[in-house]
Amino acid sequence: MASPSSEDLKTIHFISLGCPKNRVDSEVMLGVAAEAGFALTDEAEDAEVIVVNTCGFIGEAKQESIDTIFEMAEMKKVGACKKLVVTGCLSQRYPKELSEQMGEVDHFLGSSDMLKLRNVLDGDAARVLVGNPADWVLKATDPRIITGSAVSAYLKIAEGCNRSCSFCTIPSFRGKQRSRSLDDIVAEARNLVDQGIFEIDLISQDTISWGRDQTKEERRALADMVRAVADVDGVGWVRLFYLYPENIDEALIEVLRDHPKVAKYVDMPLQHAADEMLARMRRGHGKDRQKRVVERLRTAIPDLSFRTAFIVGHPGETEAEFEELVDFVKWAQFEHVGVFKYSDEESSRSAEIEGKVDEKTIAKRHRKLMTTQRAISRKKNKALLGKELDVLVEGVSEEHEFVMKGRHMGQAPDVDGSVFLSGGEAYAGQLRRVRIEQASDYDLVGELLDPDGPPPKARKRTALRIIGAPDAANYR
């Protein structure tokens, strides 16, 4: 059967809100739409179908999702839109309420209903198609079109979460953990390399627990999986996101330290550093364990880049506990830190805890912790002045069309700083040797040292409207 011509293709516009895991889901739906004969358009007013993949984690993200839905509903009046589809965590969490209050929306899908978009596009679907979140796990054979970067992609290794942190409601609308098999993960890694991807970023809600839900016969160590992905022919870098602060096993430390393609980089959300606060958060450990984990990783991997995240203003947080957190950040000297302002979520245990912290105090604590970390980040970056680093070229800088930018191995996509390049030609997808000449709080400027070389075979960038919202995996 012949492929449809560009004139025959119907148009679809996607908006992806929230975390990288949501982006992967959007990319699967984009693949479903392509198979159904739809072409992606960057302009909402030109689209016959608009899909909003929502975030439903905390109040700020929920409001942004609702605002975006109503904004896109206007396209049914002034644009080409004939069908508005809402998917993701918000509709999974509130299907009845949204379907009753948003008559402008034609279809609702949940957080595990990506493949049901085909039924919607074929015109043979009920209005509410929100299923059980435990019914679906991404597979390498599912359609997917990579968006955003031309050189890196997220590979989701599991769905859901088995933790019971008091502030988090993720398991209630994402379900319990369901790990993908090692073979399926490796198969997707090969798919990504075949599309020109250089860097593979392994993500899930709780990456350290990958495989624990599988049968004894299926179960493999996380280190084995990471090594298997890094050994795929053509992979350049592999990076781990969202490790829970448990006692990291020696095998994982070895692969982080010794494998040349595994980034010496850890993203481990710690959330707080005072014992009483960690207990209120139901984290299952205290500050001493966190210090031991940080010390062990720093000792075993001297050139490690460490990203973490903290919540300020959780119910019951005293001034002394907050200052204990500030002191911990000064002690640990993290390369990258995200700080979230606490907000109550209905159905969470934290919402029922007494001792609410007022918004003014939360904002003050947020500013102080961010200021503390900014000074540390500046010092870390200035220590790189004069050093030579390998930099993955990502493409043209958003700030200046004549300046290329990239990242060194200690910088993750989307959340960390960039290296802006000078002194020669560079192309997206190249790994170039760079000498760092300037350093700011978060970004670096480097001079290209090696010959230009031929342009690499990097994949063409596919645009997707991505609206950032607090990442639930960091906020857990």
**Residue 395 domain-assigned (yes or no):** yes
* Residue 6 to residue 76: CA distance in whole angstroms: 23
Give me the number of domains the chain comprises. Answer: 3
**Residue 41 domain-assigned (yes or no):** yes
Q: Say if residue 334 is in the same domain as residue 399.
A: no
Q: What is the pLDDT of residue 462?
A: 62
Output the domain CATH number for residue 308: 3.80.30.20
355 Rama sector, left if φ>0, alpha if ψ -120 to 50, beta otherwise: left
- Give the residue, 185 or 424, on which the prediction is more confident: 185
Q: What is the pLDDT of residue 469?
A: 44
Q: Say if residue 169 is in the same domain as residue 116.
A: no
Q: Which of 13-17, 250-254, 318-322, 470-474 has the lowest mean pLDDT?
A: 470-474
Q: Say if residue 298 is in the same domain as residue 360.
A: yes
Inform me whether the pLDDT recorded for 472 exceeds 80.
Answer: no
Handedness of CA 211, 214, 215, 217 (dihedral sign): negative
Average pLDDT across the chain, whole number: 89
Q: Say if residue 56 is in the same domain as residue 128.
A: yes
**Residue 470 domain-assigned (yes or no):** no
Output the domain CATH number for residue 416: 2.40.50.140
Q: What is the pLDDT of residue 2?
A: 43
DSSP secondary structure letter of residue 271 = B
Inform me whether the pLDDT recorded for 399 exceeds 70.
Answer: yes
* Residue 372 to residue 257: CA distance in whole angstroms: 28
Q: Say if residue 220 is in the same domain as residue 257.
A: yes
**Residue 214 domain-assigned (yes or no):** yes
Domain boundary among 325, 358, 382: 382
Q: Say if residue 185 is in the same domain as residue 328.
A: yes
**Residue 4 domain-assigned (yes or no):** no
Q: Say if residue 91 is in the same domain as residue 165.
A: no
Q: What is the 3-state secondary structure (H, E, C) of 138-189?
A: CCCCCCCCCCCCCCEEEEECEECCCCCCCCCCHHHHHCCCEECCHHHHHHHH
Q: Which amino acid is at 428?
A: A
Contact yes or no for 178/21 (Cβ under 8 A): no
Residue numbers of the domain that contains 405: 388-448
**Residue 122 domain-assigned (yes or no):** yes
Going by pLDDT thresholds of 50, 70 and 90, the confidence category of residue 124 is confident
Residue 44: which residues within 8 A CB-CB, separation 6 or more?
13, 15, 50, 72, 75, 79, 81, 465
Domain boundary among 348, 382, 416: 382
Output the pTM of the full model: 0.90
Going by pLDDT thresholds of 50, 70 and 90, the confidence category of residue 398 is confident
Inform me whether the pLDDT recorded for 272 exceeds 90.
Answer: yes
Q: Say if residue 344 is in the same domain as residue 398.
A: no
**Residue 145 domain-assigned (yes or no):** no
**Residue 378 domain-assigned (yes or no):** yes
Q: Say if residue 126 is in the same domain as residue 162.
A: no
